Amino acid sequence: MLAKPLLKSAASLIAIIAFTAACASAPAPTTAVTADAAPTAAQAQAYVEAAERELAAFSEVENRTAWSFETNINYDTEWLLQRVATEGTEMRVRLASGAGRFAGVELPADTRRKVDLLRLSLVLPAPQREGAAAELAEITTGLSSAYSTGRIDYQGAQVSLDDLETWMGTERNPARLQEMWTKWHAISPPMADDYARMVEIANEGARDLGFDNVGQMWLSNYDMPAAEMEAEVQRLWGQMQPFYEQLHCYARARLNAHYGDAVQPETGPIRADILGNMWAQDWQALMPIMRPPGGRPTYDTTQLLTRARLTPVTMTEVAERFYTSMGMAELPDTFWERSMLTRPRDREVVCHASAWDLDNREDIRVKQCIQINAEHFQTIHHELGHNYYQRAYMDQPFLYKNGAHDGFHEAIGDFIALNITPEYLAQIGLLQRNRIPAASADTSLLMEQALSKIAFLPFALTMDQWRWQVFDGRTTPAEYNADWWALRLHNQGIAPPAPRPADAFDPGAKYHIPNNVPYLRYFLSYVLQFQFYEAACRQAGWEGPLHRCTVYGNREVGARFNAMLEMGASRPWPDALEAFTGTRQMDGGAMVRYFTPLMSYLQEQNRGQQCGW
């Protein structure tokens, strides 16, 4: 996950306060247009230049303050974050509002792009009225803190979410799974009223900027009108929906065979807590139950990592070597000095993995409580993708220091993680070549990937569809939980393990809801990562099955890849996509081709089953 705002370690709090005060007192861009004068292209150019200088100066303060909070949650860091968040929101609202004056002016393409980026620079815009930004900052910081400090009583101990996530991947006792799931979801009901108030304030701010609501504002950030983007999302989902329905049918039958009708019936939705993940967004932990007959694994990645005696630091070094093998520079020394790669024992932190660029240059870091297992091995490859993207576009103007769109940023590292194939593990010395699975094991290898990649798609869709409905008023606070589960049933075919209490606020039990991280980026990244992967393998001249390809060590692919990364957000995303893949349209076709052999297997296994829910 990319941290936005991008964040540092506990630098001197006095320095942070002093720098923050200095930025807050800096004058606004001096090119404001008077009410009785028609704005000009020259004024627009001067406005965006001044805005970029102001944003660049303030962003480092935001980033270092937020890093301090996320790596040391306490009263003081929360207070500092609220103050900086308030000032940052007020500044961006002011700059976005000023940029709106140039909406009808004929501008050069570069100036027009920067004006539009300014208008869309806020995830949650506050109204310009007195006190609104401060109230919004207090609510959002409180929601984030409530989630990250959540603990439950389980088996006689106070446990955190990272423990629960690990246990839910290995526990098969349905009563214990239900207990863990139910207790974790009980942390979020206190968030509901604050969340509803946050929606009210942010929607008011969106209207001030010319949008109907926050959801429309989010959807407008993709170089096309919001309505067209929403239709594009449905088109992409339609390409993979038949595959998900077959995977759901197969998984339900296997779970029924394992647990029996009392836990998982043969028909209808799947019980959410038995899918190996707190949010039923990744089913890979169920591979022992889902594995095709005769597809016994010849290796276990977690065991390989453990036997190699990897530590959080050395596992990160292994991931770094993938990027350097493609010709990219090593991470700076400060990355290793300042990153947080393990959970500290002496303080509360946000353990959710994220990548950070604190100074818009070389102070790049990862914050991840790394455990030595296959999932975290993939995650660290993913997070470094953000860092290498950040470094690649660091010479762009400030407003272009970002991904071509937010899905690009998430797809970069996931494309690299797709290269974690048996061949790659052999090349880096973790797997003996005589242990590389034969072609007969391909169905099993694809099943493991599908339980992660295909299973995720409808969950990702649900996360933002629910918020679009909340922001546009179709879902009221009284219907928050009911509509959440209606969407999860419709898209995913899953249901809670038991009826939910009247005060439940289950969306709040997922990090990205209380932390207000738009989720469409992840859905789009799952489409793009396979497009990037297929294009890279084609460039490398790979001739075997697509799912066995790795471009580890291929500097020619690395040079073309980095050329796309260096563009940042300077061009519309189709230009960036074309630079690496040769096509200007996002397309699930590469994902379909990757999984085609497994689709045939699933259809055969599901013959005679009553699929759907």
In this prediction, residue 7 carries a pLDDT of 30
In this prediction, residue 36 carries a pLDDT of 55
Q: How far apart are CA 580 and CA 601, in angstroms?
A: 32
pLDDT tens sequence across 441-482: 889 889 999 999 999 999 999 999 999 999 999 999 999 999
In this prediction, residue 265 carries a pLDDT of 97
User: Would residue 323 count as lying in a domain?
Assistant: no
The helix-helix angle for 41-70 and 109-119 (nearest 10°) equals 40
In this prediction, residue 441 carries a pLDDT of 82
Q: Which residues of 509-522 are buried (b: 16+ CB within 10 A; e: fewer)?
A: bbbbbbbbbbbbbb
pLDDT tens sequence across 87-128: 988 898 899 889 988 988 999 999 999 999 998 888 999 998
Residues with Cβ within 8 Å of residue 389, at least 6 apart in sequence? 403, 408, 409, 412, 565
Domain extent, residue 547, equals: 151-186+211-296+402-613
pLDDT tens sequence across 198-243: 999 999 999 988 899 999 999 999 999 999 999 999 999 999 999 9
> How many other CB atoms are there within 10 angstroms of residue 584's CB atom?
13
In this prediction, residue 17 carries a pLDDT of 29
In this prediction, residue 4 carries a pLDDT of 47
- 109 and 176 co-located in one domain: no
User: Would residue 544 count as lying in a domain?
Assistant: yes
User: Would residue 362 count as lying in a domain?
Assistant: no
User: Would residue 193 count as lying in a domain?
Assistant: no
38 burial (CB, 10 Å; 0-12 / 13-18 / 19+) is: exposed
- For the question of residue 54 being annotated catalytic, the response is no
Q: How far apart are CA 377 and CA 381, in angstroms?
A: 7
- 540 and 582 co-located in one domain: yes
> Residue 576: enclosing H or E segment and its boundaries?
helix 573-581
Residue 602: what residue type? L
User: Would residue 232 count as lying in a domain?
Assistant: yes
pLDDT tens sequence across 160-185: 887 888 888 889 999 999 999 999 99
- 39 and 135 co-located in one domain: yes
CA-CA-CA-CA dihedral for 496, 498, 501, 506, to nearest 10: -20
Residue 362 · residue 392 · CB < 8 Å: no
- For the question of residue 512 being annotated catalytic, the response is yes
User: Would residue 576 count as lying in a domain?
Assistant: yes
pLDDT band at 359 (very low <50, low <70, confident <90, very high): very high
| 3 state SS of 207 | helix
Q: How far apart are CA 233 and CA 586, in angstroms?
A: 10
Q: How far apart are CA 55 and CA 309, in angstroms?
A: 44
Q: How far apart are CA 228 and CA 231, in angstroms?
A: 5
Domain finish residue from 123, 147, 171: 147
Q: Is 70 exceeded by the pLDDT of residue 331?
A: yes
| 3 state SS of 540 | coil
Structural domain total, the chain: 2
If you compute the radius of gyration of the chain from its CA atoms, what whole number of angstroms results? 24
Angstrom distances, CA of residue 564 to CA of 3, 63, 234, 388: 21, 25, 26, 12
In this prediction, residue 165 carries a pLDDT of 85
Residue 555: what residue type? R
- 414 and 521 co-located in one domain: yes
Domain finish residue from 121, 147, 173: 147
pLDDT tens sequence across 34-77: 555 788 999 999 999 999 999 999 999 999 999 999 999 999 99
Residue 70 · residue 4 · CB < 8 Å: no
In this prediction, residue 149 carries a pLDDT of 87
Q: Which long-range contacts (CB under 8 A, 24 or more apart) does 84-89 make?
A: 84/16, 84/20, 85/137, 85/140, 85/141, 86/133, 86/134, 86/136, 86/137, 87/20, 87/23, 87/24, 87/58, 87/133, 88/5, 88/58, 88/62, 89/122, 89/124, 89/125, 89/126, 89/133, 89/136, 89/137
- 552 and 471 co-located in one domain: yes
Backbone phi, psi, residue 495, to 5°: -145, 155
In this prediction, residue 282 carries a pLDDT of 94
CATH number, residue 424: 1.10.1370
5: cis peptide before it, omega within 30°? yes
Residues with Cβ within 8 Å of residue 482, at least 6 apart in sequence? none
Backbone phi, psi, residue 516, to 5°: 55, 50
User: Which of 383, 410, 448, 534 is labelled catalytic?
Assistant: 383
Q: Which residue has the tokens 């526990």?
A: 171
Q: pTM for this structure? A: 0.86
Least confident residue range of 36-40, 246-250, 343-347? 36-40
Give me the percent of the chain exceeding a pLDDT of 70: 94
- 105 and 177 co-located in one domain: no
- 135 and 167 co-located in one domain: no
Token duo for residue 562: 């980095």
User: Would residue 551 count as lying in a domain?
Assistant: yes
In this prediction, residue 13 carries a pLDDT of 30
pLDDT tens sequence across 365-388: 999 999 999 989 999 999 999 999
Residue 259: what residue type? Y
Residue 486 · residue 474 · CB < 8 Å: no
Domain finish residue from 147, 178, 200: 147
User: Which of 185, 512, 534, 547 is labelled catalytic?
Assistant: 512
- 142 and 179 co-located in one domain: no
Q: How far apart are CA 165 and CA 604, in angstroms?
A: 33
> How many other CB atoms are there within 10 angstroms of residue 333's CB atom?
9
Token duo for residue 211: 């949008």
Residue 503 · residue 482 · CB < 8 Å: no
Residue 360: what residue type? N
In this prediction, residue 97 carries a pLDDT of 87
- 427 and 287 co-located in one domain: yes
- 139 and 220 co-located in one domain: no
Q: What is the mean pLDDT of the chain?
A: 91
Residue 312: what residue type? P
Q: Which residue has the tokens 């075919």?
A: 493
- 140 and 248 co-located in one domain: no
Q: Which residue has the tokens 């973790």?
A: 430
- 164 and 141 co-located in one domain: no
User: Would residue 33 count as lying in a domain?
Assistant: yes
In this prediction, residue 544 carries a pLDDT of 87
Token duo for residue 243: 């595959």
pLDDT band at 3 (very low <50, low <70, confident <90, very high): low
The separation between CA 134 and the C-alpha centre of its own chain, rounded to angstroms, equals 26
